[in-house]
Amino acid sequence: MSVGKFTLGASVLALAAMPGIAAAAGGGAEPTAYFSVGAGVTVPDDVSQGTTITPFSGSNTFTLPSGFDTSFDTGFNVGGTIGYKFNSTWRVEGEYRYSTADNLMTTVRGGFNVPTATNPSGSLTPNSGDISVNALFANAVLDINMPGRLLPYIGAGLGYADIDISALGSDAGEGVFAYQVFLGGDVSLDDHSWVGARFNFMNTDNFAYDPVGPAAAGAFTTGKAQYSAFDLTFSYRRDFK
């Protein structure tokens, strides 16, 4: 694991430990469980990969790309949380979020001309389809109390993401480690319910994805890639009371 991921993980674990400390020391509001549901827009970042030459035999010359960049349209997300509020400051929660977006295009870094039996011209067949992500997170949330009905907050989470990219008529998916950081604000409707919006950044560990499919089979292999996305989610939250 990289230093950045270790530092992030340590920070989130420390953040997650703070509610217990705060609860032991008091902290205001009565502890309570809650749930939330939400939906919004997802803006995935490009998926970038390098390539590695593998054994290949053919009667024509070929040119290998140095890498691929796959971009996506803006998509949407839906999800929900079940959490526990220790006091007026600290919350922990489990979150499930599903997001999806259409593939926009795949561009090539360097030349590409790989003739094969299934693709004699050696041209790149652009991928089509979509990307879908099922993610589970354990979050720690810090509420920033202020006068009035607005309740800003910040948080972070560690979890797991199953990434599925549909391209060239086949699916390629893999489950990997993921983390997220977020900030948002809720407006109280009454003593036990809120509506609000959250801005979220999610990033994953490396996962395998072949953007060109069988067209270049045997000529090269693609490297693994990371997935990241920005989400804007509108939500409703209510205490179990």
- CATH code of the domain in which 97 resides: 2.40.160.20
pLDDT of residue 11: 46
pTM of the model: 0.78
Q: What is the pLDDT of residues 64-76, one digit of tens each?
A: 777 778 889 999 9
pLDDT of residue 49: 78
Grade residue 215 by pLDDT with cuts at 50, 70 and 90. very low
Q: What is the pLDDT of residues 34-60, one digit of tens each?
A: 999 999 999 999 888 777 766 655 555
Q: How far apart are CA 197 and CA 195, in angstroms?
A: 7
* Boundaries of domain holding 202: 3-239
pLDDT of residue 70: 83
pLDDT of residue 135: 96
The arithmetic mean of pLDDT across residues 10-23, rounded, is 47
Q: Which long-range contacts (CB under 8 A, 24 or more apart) does 187-194 make?
A: 187/149, 187/150, 187/151, 188/149, 188/151, 192/238, 192/239, 192/241, 193/236, 193/237, 193/238, 193/239, 194/151, 194/236, 194/237, 194/238
The arithmetic mean of pLDDT across residues 27-31, rounded, is 70
Number of domains composing the chain: 1
pLDDT of residue 50: 76
Bridge-partner residues for 136, per DSSP?
A: 96, 160
Q: How far apart are CA 178 and CA 45, in angstroms?
A: 15
Query: Above 80 in pLDDT, residue 192?
Result: yes
Query: Above 60 in pLDDT, residue 10?
Result: no
